Amino acid sequence: MALRVGMLTSGGDCQGLNPAMRGVAKALYEHAEDTQIIGFLNGYEGLMTGHSLKMRESDFSGILTRGGTILGTSRQPFKSMNDPLEEGRLDGPTKLEAMIDTYKTMSLDALVILGGNGTHKTANLLHENGLNVVTLPKTIDNDIWGTKRTFGYQSAIDIATQVIDGIHTTATSHGRVFIIEIMGHKVGWMTLEAGIAGGADVILIPEIPYDPLALLKALNRRDKKNKRFSIIAIAEGAKTKAEAAMSKAEYEEHRKNSRHPSVAYELAETLDAMMVQEVRCTVPGHFQRGGEPCPYDRVLTTRLGVAAANAIINREFGVMMAYINDEIAHVPLAEVAGRLKYVPLDHDLIQVARQTGISFGDEV
């Protein structure tokens, strides 16, 4: 039986989006050659406006190793779902109503959505409003609840680790303290794994607020052991203990008024005032989410994509494809939406890091 399936990628791009769509499409075409796949352009924006393409089977060839997304993407805040589609026009449909109308007008049997946390909140809302939705977990932060790993995560870790590896030589040559800022606003999975893999001496993550004085003590201990340099891996969302004690509004105002572009530069100024050693920053930024997916992510996305196709064929909707215990499982969207997967303070990786001498800047 032929299926008519919509597909979109939403939120920030990352490695693995194209091979994930390829996995879904290939499995659906194998099921029924006359399957029709409609690709919505630029994320939920395309679903709202009907801006789409009738995909051909050939469109999914040659994209296994291609980064980014062939459909384009955009961010659509969940909190604006009930805003008018056209700003200022109160008699028209809301954004949510427009998406539902597009789905029904195009007579879709299912909608495949690839995205992160915000994307999943909207996907769950669409399912609650009667749409047949299946999702795949995409984010380099690995912070989606219900899955051990998200696709894009391993590729980004590989890049962040390469950055740390590369900094080692110049840090050693000049005897400097290098601060490397890794992506991760709210969780520290990526900084933790890349920091351990790259041999960082200090790892600062959002889950463990740090004390600049404790951090200084850790760096001084290295200096007393005649260590010529130090590498600090800091998540972009890392906070000092004083900052962690602030309310959300207070912290946002604090960051807004900071003269520093990011936490790495703010930390650099703090350390520079307390140390003789030179302090330098490296912020690889969006480079971490660019380029081709690593082999691990190509395999993971193919597995997730095929599982999503099978869910559609078996009419199992309102679920996210998740990686659990080396198996692909279904997790209800209602359990995923609005929940973040933080690094547990008793996680094995944190214990391993501490036992190998890595500081988290929280030691007294």
| Mean pLDDT in residue range 34-39 | 97
What order do you get walking across the sheet with 133-137 strand by strand? Answer: 52-55, 36-40, 4-9, 110-115, 133-137, 319-324, 327-332
pLDDT band at residue 142 under the 50/70/90 scheme: very high
DSSP state of 330: E
Query: Regarding predicted confidence, which is higher, 23 or 89?
Result: 23
For residue 268, what pLDDT is reported?
A: 94
pLDDT band at residue 364 under the 50/70/90 scheme: low
Mean pLDDT of the chain: 95
Name the fold adopted by 4-151+293-324: Rossmann fold (3.40.50)
Separation between Cα atoms, residue 290 and residue 172, nearest integer Å: 28
For residue 157, what pLDDT is reported?
A: 97
Question: Which one-letter amino acid corresponds to residue 155?
Answer: S
- Of the candidates 141, 143, 158, 297, the residue annotated as catalytic is 141
| Mean pLDDT in residue range 164-179 | 91
Q: What is the full DSSP assignment across 88-132?
A: T-TTS-BHHHHHHHHHHHTT-SEEEEEE-HHHHHHHHHHHHTT--
Active site residue 141: yes
For residue 109, what pLDDT is reported?
A: 97
Q: Which of 8-17, 60-69, 89-98, 126-135 has the lowest mean pLDDT?
A: 89-98
| Mean pLDDT in residue range 201-225 | 94
Domain boundaries, the chain: 4-151+293-324, 156-289+344-355
For residue 110, what pLDDT is reported?
A: 98
- pLDDT tens digits along 273-320: 998 889 999 999 999 999 999 999 999 999 999 999 999 999 999 999
| Mean pLDDT in residue range 106-111 | 98
For 156-289+344-355, CATH gives 3.40.50.460
Q: Do domains 4-151+293-324 and 156-289+344-355 have the same CATH topology?
A: yes
